[in-house]
Amino acid sequence: MGRSLNLLSITNRYYLISLSLFFIFAGVLLFYAISYNMNEELDEQLYAEQIHVENAIKSMDHINATPLSLLDNIIVKKTSFAVNIKPEIFDSLMYDDVEKEMIPFRLIRFSAQTTNANYVIVIKESKIETSDLVISIFFSLMLVFGLFCLILYVANSYLNRKIWSPFLETISAIKTLNINNRDVSFKYQTSHIEEFNELNFSLQKMIERIESDYLHMKEFSENAAHELQTPLSIIRSKLESLLQSKNLNNEDAQLIDQALESTVRLSRLNQSLLLLTKIENRQYEQKQEVSFSSVFDKYIEFYNENILENGIEIQLNKYEDFVFEINSTLADLLISNLLSNAIKHNIQDGEVVINIEKGRFEIFNTGEEPTCSTELFFNRFKKGNHLPEHLGLGLALVKEIVETSGLQITYIYENDRHLIMVNKN
C-alpha cells in the first residue's frame, strides 16, 4: 500500500482532475465556437462591403482612388485586362499603422469593373477584437475555475467536518477500545446518515461477538490449564508410588524419576502460561508504590544460596531508590525472574552488578555469549545456549510484566556482559 491520503484530499484530487479536464475541453470548444462565429460575422460584413463597393463603382467610369482610399481598409488595384475572379475570403497577417504591429486580418478579394476599367479590390477587417475576446474568455474561465476550486475546497472541508464527523468519532471509539477492559465499551452517537448508523451497528455487533469469543477463550484456556493439573497430579502420585516399590531395579527407578521430572516441568509450564495469560488479561491491576531497592534486597537474600553455590560476586549499587507504581506481585515476579536469570545464566565465579538509580535500574551479569539476537529472548520458548530444563518463559514473563506496568526494558550483550535495563516509559 502506498502513501495514504485522507478522504478530503482524495475527493479534492479527483474533483480537480475531472474539473481540469472539463475546463480544458470547454475552453477549446469555446475557443473554436467563438472563432467560428466571429469569422462568420466578419465574412458577412465583408460581403456586405463588397456589395456596397460594387454598387458604388458600377456607375463610375473609373475609380477615383481618393474617396475610396480614404477608407484605409479598401485596397484598389487597377488591372489592364478584365479579370473575373470569384470573391474569395482569407486570413492574413498585416502591418497595422494604428497598432504598429503585425495583426491578423480577414480579407475579401474580388474583381470589379467600371464602365471602362478593370479592378481587383481587397477589403480587410481586423481580427484583433476576436483575439482579445478569446483571451478575455480564457481568463474569465480561469477565474471561474479558480473560484470553483476554492468553493469546492471550502465546501468539502465543511462537509468533511459535518458529514464525516460520526465516522471520525467511530474511528476514535475503535481506537480507544480495549477488549481486556470491559469498562471501555464501544459507544457511538446515532447520526442522521443511514450508512454510518449501519456501520456503527455492525461494528457494535462485531465487537460484542469478539468480546464474547475472547471471554470464552480466556475461560477455556484457564479451565484447560486447571483441568490439566488434575491428571498431572495423578500421574505424579502414581509415579511416586511406583518409586516406593520394593522390587524396583535402579534402571527402572531412573526411568520413573525422569518421567516424574517431566510431569513437574509440564505442570510448571502450565502454571507459567497461566500466569502469563493472567498478566496479559490484566488481572493484576491493583497498584501501589513499590521500592525496587527493597525488592532487590529481598530477592538477593532469597537467592543467597544459589549465589554462594555458583561463586557469584554480587554488587548492589543504590545510587537512588527507584520507586514506581506497580502491582507488588508483578514487581516481585519481575525482580525474581531477572535476578534468577542473572545468577543462573552466569559462569562459575562470575559477577552480577545491579545499579539502581532514579527512574531506572540495570543488571549486568557475566555469561556466555548469546547465540542469537538478545531481543529474541523476549519471545516465548526462546532459550539460550544450554539449560534444556529451563522453560524459556522467564523473559517472556518479564516482558509482559514490563509492558503492562508502563515500564520499558532493553536487553543487550556487550563487553562479555549481559545488560538488562528497565526504566520508566
| 271 makes contact with another protein (CB under 8 A) | yes
Return the number of the residue (80 or 348) whose C-beta is nearest another protein: 348
| 329 makes contact with another protein (CB under 8 A) | yes
A 10 A CB-CB count for 45 gives 14
What is the smallest separation between the CB atom of 228 and another protein, expressed in angstroms? 8
Segment interacting with another protein, rule: CB under 8 A, options 32-40, 166-174, 241-249, 373-381: 241-249
* 406 close to 389: Cβ distance less than 8 angstroms: no
In sequence order, the 6+-apart residues with CB closer than 8 A to the CB of 103 are: 93, 94, 96, 126, 127, 128
DSSP label at residue 376: G
Nearest CA among 326, 345, 338, 342 for reference residue 405: 326
Three cell numbers, residue 334: 519481575
Concatenate the DSSP letters of all residues of 261-318 into one string: HHHHHHHHHHHHHHHHHHHHTT-----EEEEHHHHHHHHHHHTHHHHHHTT-EEEEEE
| 298 makes contact with another protein (CB under 8 A) | no
d(Cα 55, Cα 49) in Å, to the nearest integer?
A: 10
What is the smallest separation between the CB atom of 234 and another protein, expressed in angstroms? 5
Instruction: Please pick, from the candidates 11, 340, 355, 423, the single residue that binds another protein as defined by CB under 8 A.
Output: 340
Instruction: Please pick, from the candidates 160, 263, 346, 404, the single residue that binds another protein as defined by CB under 8 A.
Output: 263
Provide the mask over 208-227, with x wherever binding to another protein is found by CB under 8 A and - wherever it is not. Answer: ------------------xx
A 10 A CB-CB count for 69 gives 12
| 244 makes contact with another protein (CB under 8 A) | yes
What is the smallest separation between the CB atom of 323 and another protein, expressed in angstroms? 23
| 281 makes contact with another protein (CB under 8 A) | no
What is the smallest separation between the CB atom of 332 and another protein, expressed in angstroms? 11
Return the number of the residue (333 or 402) whose C-beta is nearest another protein: 333
d(Cα 257, Cα 264) in Å, to the nearest integer?
A: 11
What is the smallest separation between the CB atom of 328 and another protein, expressed in angstroms? 11
What is the smallest separation between the CB atom of 367 and another protein, expressed in angstroms? 15
Segment interacting with another protein, rule: CB under 8 A, options 12-20, 58-66, 123-131, 246-254: 246-254
What is the smallest separation between the CB atom of 240 and another protein, expressed in angstroms? 5
d(Cα 349, Cα 366) in Å, to the nearest integer?
A: 9
Give me the helix-helix angle, 194-243 and 250-280, nearest 10°: 160
Residues making up the chain, counted from first to last: 425
Binding site for another protein (CB under 8 A): 226-227, 229-230, 232-238, 240-241, 243-244, 250, 253-254, 256-257, 260-261, 263-265, 267-268, 271-272, 274, 278, 305-306, 309, 329, 336-337, 340-341, 344, 387, 389-391, 394
